[in-house]
Chains A and B, each alone.
Chain A
């Protein structure tokens, strides 16, 4: 039980002379709610790309539970339970919400390659997809094509697609990006309500949201982890204040 859900050791990544990740090491305990914060360009999304296999690290290791996954391709990491969402909606515009989530469920169940039976006969997969959509309040819109959905609903569909893969660890890249502040709290209460068996790490800029929904926080600056701790520790730390408020004080 003490094995962390996700951990990294000494992750490095550079693009030429630009260092985007340097000596990244952390452990996410199971069921934890982590926020990953830091100024723009700190390397937060890069870190998600490294963990999900969309980028290859120059050095270092990544573990999902006890298993090393450093060299696994992205789809295989997803199948093992390490799943992400995207900061910019990366959805299927001309599939309706039900089809999109059913597709993700079928991929997990291993029936997405079957072409001799019609989709409606896969009742189990469809039911599960529908249940996920209902749980995210997308039930009444699930027959509308993705591109017709309101922006906030599209953000929810991002999460629905991830949930359909049955994740152990969920990495949410600014789940509320572009959502008005009033709706953003709603979106995060959905995230807060996710099963405790899922370990969640989210990137978010709104500090109110971060302090309300995260139990622990990782602060990144310039491709490095500056510190990690509870919200109280982070709020009290002088260096964090400098990073976030420094620019304003010097201006």
Chain B
């Protein structure tokens, strides 16, 4: 399709999605914990996992405008899939991750058939209801999930047959970071594709879409399934790196937290979920050190402050300080 010389509009669109120096610096900086804070690699790994989970929510919320209060359903489903696989004797991490992603994707596709028919408040209720349903099902199926005690006996094999998951989290962080980067590259390509443009169209003015010949429900089913795969992979990472799965991987709290994280960081910006995850997880780590019982007080305060003073999240606020040519999509 591409003609030899790119036209001016093509060059303009190309320039908009070009890698920015800041982005490359950010990904290089993600390696720093290995040397700067080697005793915090377990936390760093959890941040990467949460960032991936928030990124998957951003794909549906930030780009397609689908509000979900039950996104943990796919995270938890991936978590239990990976956990059970390892418990039943297949502890190979990477294939386990892939299988968990496919399982969560299947679940996502099935729910997307309903999701694609609703918007706004109805969507919040449906996703919330579905999340609660799955959490309660996992709770009652304690023969399978271990119920409130969590899934015990998850034993992972060495990563690539070389690196064991140790207490210091070196392998865990390297693994989580690689998967996050891979999923990020995939998401970046996706949102810069014609499909990404169609999603933004749905977010911006859903009722115009049929008038330009677009079949929005098909787009929504597709992105919802992709987001479910990514959430499932994030959940599987958590199961594999901690070698346990608890019911709260499916819980409402996790769905609410990831929404808070994404809004803190900024929706529809790709990096919003990542920045949100860093701020939220580090804040939780610090605040819970000061005041273990009431740390949500501070998170609440932080959330109110961000929404009041930085309506487009932390990244939205920063973007105003950065020259336009440095800004990414």
A107 lies within 8 A of B7 (CB): no
Q: Is the beta-carbon distance between B204 and A94 smaller than 8 angstroms?
A: yes
Total interface residues in chain A, CB < 8 Å: 49
- Docked pose: A63 CA to B96 CA in angstroms: 54
**DSSP majority for the B interface?**
helix
For chain B, residues 1 to 27, give those with C-beta under 8 angstroms from any C-beta of chain A.
1-3, 6-7, 9-14, 17
Determine the distance from Cα of A103 to Cα of B1 in the docked complex, in whole angstroms.
Answer: 16
B197 within 8 A of A: yes
Q: Which of B39-47, B215-223, B276-284 contacts A (4 or more CB under 8 A)?
A: B215-223
Q: Indicate if B200 sits at the interface (CB-CB under 8 A).
A: yes
Contact of B201 among A84, A95, A143 (CB under 8 A): A95
- Residue-wise, chain A 16-57 has the 8 Å CB interface mask toward B (1 for contact) of 000000000000000000000000000000000000100000
Interface stretch of the complex, out of B105-113, B185-193, B286-294, B299-307? B185-193
Q: Which of A52, A119, A126 contacts B193 (CB 8 A)?
A: A119
Query: Residue B315 at the A interface, CB < 8 A?
Result: no
State in angstroms the CA–CA spacing of A117 and B1 once bound together: 11
A120 and B17 contact, Cβ closer than 8 Å, known pairs A106-B197, A113-B222, A161-B208? yes
Count residues of B near A (Cβ-Cβ below 8 Å): 39
A93 to B200, CA, bound (A): 10
Which residues on the B side are within 8 Å of A104 (C-beta)? Answer: 212-213
Beta-carbon contact of B210 and A75 below 8 Å: yes
Give the complex CA separation of A126 and B29 in angstroms. 36
Q: Tell me which residues from 95 to 117 in chain A have a Cβ below 8 Å from any Cβ of chain B.
A: 95, 98-100, 102-104, 106-108, 111-117
Q: Which of A106, A108, A112, A130 contacts B9 (CB 8 A)?
A: A130
Q: Are B193 and A115 in contact (CB under 8 A)?
A: yes
The complex places the Cα of A118 from the Cα of B17 at a distance, in Å, of 9
Cβ–Cβ contact A116 & B200, under 8 A: no
Report the Cα distance A90→B208, complex, angstroms: 6
Complex CA gap A159/B215 in Å reads 20
Q: Is A246 an interface residue (CB 8 A)?
A: no
Chain B residues within 8 Å of A93, by CB: 204-205
Chain A residues whose CB sits within 8 angstroms of the CB of B193 once the complex forms: 114-119
In the assembled complex, A92 has its CB within 8 A of some CB on chain B: yes
Question: Contact between A115 and B9 (Cβ–Cβ < 8 Å)?
Answer: no
A66 at the interface (CB under 8 A from B): no
Contacts of A125 in B (CB 8 A): 194
Whether B17 contacts A107 by the Cβ 8 Å rule is no
Tell me the smallest distance from the CB of A77 to a CB of chain B, in Å: 9
**CB-CB contacts below 8 Å: A112-163 with B:** 112-127, 129-130, 142-143, 161-162
| Residue A203 at the chain B interface, CB threshold 8 Å | no
* Assembled-state Cα–Cα distance A86/B7 (Å): 31
Known: A95-B201, A123-B2, A126-B7. A114 touches B210 (CB 8 A): no
B3 contacts across to A, CB distance below 8 A:
123
CA distance A113 to B197 in the complex (A): 9
Given A92-B205, A93-B204, CB of A120 within 8 Å of CB of B14: yes
- Report the bound CA distance from A100 to B11 in whole Å: 17
B194 touches A112 (CB 8 A): yes
A79 touching B211, Cβ below 8 Å: no
Residue of B nearest to A84 (CB): B211
The residue that A91 contacts in the complex, of B192, B205, B219, B222, with Cβ under 8 A, is B205
Known: A114-B193, A130-B7. A75 touches B213 (CB 8 A): yes
Hey, which chain B residues are within 8 Å of A92, CB to CB?
Answer: 200-201, 204-205, 208
Q: How far apart sit A70 and B120, CA to CA, in the bound complex (Å)?
A: 29
Question: In the bound complex, do residue B207 and residue A90 qualify as a contact, i.e. CB atoms below 8 Å apart?
Answer: yes
Q: Check if A73 is an interface residue, CB within 8 A of chain B.
A: yes
Q: Does A219 contact B (CB under 8 A)?
A: no
* 27 A/B residue pairs, CB under 8 Å, sorted by A: A75-B209, A79-B213, A86-B211, A90-B208, A91-B208, A92-B201, A93-B205, A98-B13, A99-B13, A99-B197, A100-B201, A102-B194, A107-B214, A112-B194, A112-B195, A112-B198, A112-B219, A113-B194, A119-B17, A119-B197, A120-B11, A120-B17, A126-B7, A126-B9, A127-B10, A142-B9, A161-B212
15 additional contacts (CB under 8 A) given A75-B209, A90-B205, A92-B204: A75-B215, A79-B213, A83-B213, A90-B208, A99-B197, A100-B201, A102-B194, A104-B213, A113-B222, A117-B193, A118-B193, A119-B17, A119-B194, A119-B197, A129-B9
* In the A-B complex, the 7 residue pairs with the closest CB atoms: A115-B195, A78-B213, A92-B204, A104-B212, A74-B210, A120-B14, A75-B210
